[in-house]
Structure 1
């Protein structure tokens, strides 16, 4: 297998102009934050990234490199200092209502049951309460939680809460799904189960996904492409690797595939250097 590093680092440097076939386009965006003393901190520098409709793209990079910042720009929560963000070929005007956002920590309301939490988005959008809750129960069944529909969040395990949160996002049928380390707080076994569940649900309608993770194995297992960000500040996109592994995938088994292992080796060769920059006390070669 040819080295993915040779073929796809340069591909991160240029992207085409936005079109209706591109769910998300970052066109040379820079993102800054105000800091003390009237100064600015540049978190992201001239990032170019395209996510096609129906594509699953994972972003990896060192801690603090701006991965979540890019998600927030796609959600319309942040406005770039320069460059352009487009959604299906058009600009973002305020919040991106075509996207659903799943955070690392769920936003379940503790005084509402699982079914009430899942239904709330539809109710806010004007759907009748009974209809919204009927749809919510159907979604809880799809994520394996039908028997737990009337339980409150404190009565659910971490994995169960995460499935409620996933249903809460997907019930509104967003065209774009933004996911910020959604499985990070879970134990290793539950992460595998959640990964398989996510892929099963995604395969049913293939919405565009932009998925941030620190876990390279998770990124390769789930995605169509893995994008690498450099260490910050002024982080850039420095690598873009297609993941040609066949679908459907078993998250627990695919890591044994020689092609998976070759992809992991090529991506880690680049990512490791950036991770080490985030820990200046480490000499090159001390972290594996």
Structure 2
């Protein structure tokens, strides 16, 4: 299997004033195969989103390397689509125009872009919502538009940063099943950041755990052997799901507690 994303000893540091340097992530090694779904879980502030931004080419590591399909990443990752936690929709554009805009910017004639956008809205269950503006849509519907907006450009890699975080539990499950259905069609490489260990196991082929920061490291990497195709709700009833959850949580729990202690100390002074 070719490697879609490879981080090799990637260290990310930020300068805080003239004399201080904050190391967010230290010597991260991670390989995501083409067609592989990998979830990253860890305490708040451990650098999960930082790793995603490195893979996107938005951050350059202080040391180490980033390779995309076995080639060094010189700048922005043109092979990737990025779905953020916050909505990235233009409020003055309809759902249809929001989905079509990426193709229009790329030079596709507007008529063809709109036709393809219509097809993608139908694929995410919004065939009759194309003329609605973002403020007229529910949170789950806006996430569907955002997903179509990213996937219409057919990226080879999908980067997802807590994309379902703001949604209620039921809508998260619906969106998870939609994501799996769309992913099963062409099996893009996915790097999915979440705080929710259950969500990570239910969706992914592998679950990667990060330590509490600063100088966060990747401290665990588990294969998820649950059968596909999966239904999120049914998968969570599987005894193997619970066994894997207990195994990963036994490692993750200590890091989560460290993260809470560090956050409390930072707030105190």
**TM-score normalised over the length of structure 2:** 0.96
Report what 2:150 is aligned to: 169
> In the alignment, is residue 99 of structure 1 matched against residue 56 of structure 2?
no
Report what 1:258 is aligned to: 239
Where does structure 1 lack aligned partners over 5 or more consecutive residues? 1-19, 283-288
Select between 167-176 and 32-41 the one with higher mean Cα deviation: 32-41
1:74-93 matches, cutoff 5 A: 74-93=55-74
Following TM superposition, the consecutive aligned residue runs of length 4 or more in structure 1 with deviations greater than 4 angstroms are: none
> In the alignment, is residue 111 of structure 1 matched against residue 84 of structure 2?
no
2-structure distance, mates of 1:170, 1:93: 23
2:180 to 196, 199, 204: 199
> In the alignment, is residue 139 of structure 1 matched against residue 125 of structure 2?
no
Cα shift at 1:106:
1.3
Report what 1:31 is aligned to: 12
Q: What SS does the corresponding residue of 1:84 show, helix, strand or coil?
A: strand
Where does structure 2 lack aligned partners over 5 or more consecutive residues? 264-269
Q: What SS does the corresponding residue of 2:170 show, helix, strand or coil?
A: helix
Q: What SS does the corresponding residue of 1:148 show, helix, strand or coil?
A: coil
2:217 to 236, 241, 249: 236
1-structure distance, mates of 2:19, 2:220: 33
Cα shift at 1:66:
0.2
Cα shift at 1:36:
2.4
Cα shift at 1:77:
0.2
- Root-mean-square deviation (CA), in Å? 1.1
> In the alignment, is residue 67 of structure 1 matched against residue 48 of structure 2?
yes
Report what 2:266 is aligned to: none
**TM-score normalised over the length of structure 1:** 0.90
Cα shift at 1:37:
3.7
1-structure distance, mates of 2:159, 2:69: 15
2-structure distance, mates of 1:73, 1:272: 26
1-structure distance, mates of 2:107, 2:134: 24
Q: What SS does the corresponding residue of 1:278 show, helix, strand or coil?
A: helix
Cα shift at 1:281:
8.2
> In the alignment, is residue 249 of structure 1 matched against residue 234 of structure 2?
no
